């Protein structure tokens, strides 16, 4: 049996999926700031999270891989600016 959700929970879930692209864009912008500050293993984790959010925005996988291979936060910021 599926657990019953309240109307409030249904509304929260519906709003999340309605605004998912905006949420992914905002989180990507936050992660670009983290890229400037991180190094080593932390930076790899930030890239992994950023790649997931960029994919949610509809960016092709080859473009994401190019951004990751250049490892340039300014380039990612420019791409996000164009997407906005």
Number of domains observed in the structure of the chain: 1
**Domain-embedded: residue 13:** no
**Domain-embedded: residue 49:** yes
**Domain-embedded: residue 35:** yes
For residue 43, pLDDT beyond 90:
yes
Average pLDDT of span 2-29: 93
**Domain-embedded: residue 36:** yes
Average pLDDT of span 56-73: 93
Domain that holds residue 53: 24-83
**Domain-embedded: residue 16:** no
Q: How many CB atoms lie within 10 A of CB 53?
A: 20
**Domain-embedded: residue 8:** no
Give the pair of three-digit tokens for residue 41.
Answer: 């293993």
**Domain-embedded: residue 11:** no
For residue 2, pLDDT beyond 90:
no
Average pLDDT of span 41-50: 96
**Domain-embedded: residue 45:** yes
What is the percent of the chain with per-residue pLDDT over 70, rounded to a whole number?
A: 100
**Mind spelling out the 3-state secondary structure of 2-51?**
CCCCCHHHHHHHHHHHHCHHHHHHHHHHHHHHHHHHCCHHHHHHHHHHHH
Average pLDDT of span 17-32: 94
How confident is the model at residue 1, as a pLDDT? 73
């Amino acid at each position: 049996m599926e657990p019953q959700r309240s109307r409030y929970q249904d509304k929260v879930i519906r709003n999340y999926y309605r605004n998912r692209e905006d949420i992914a864009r905002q989180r990507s912008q936050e992660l670009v700031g983290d890229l400037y500050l991180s190094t080593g293993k932390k930076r790899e984790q930030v890239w992994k999270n950023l790649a997931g959010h960029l994919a949610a925005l509809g960016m092709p996988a080859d473009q994401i891989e190019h951004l990751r291979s250049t490892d340039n936060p300014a380039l990612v910021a420019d791409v996000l600016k164009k997407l906005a």
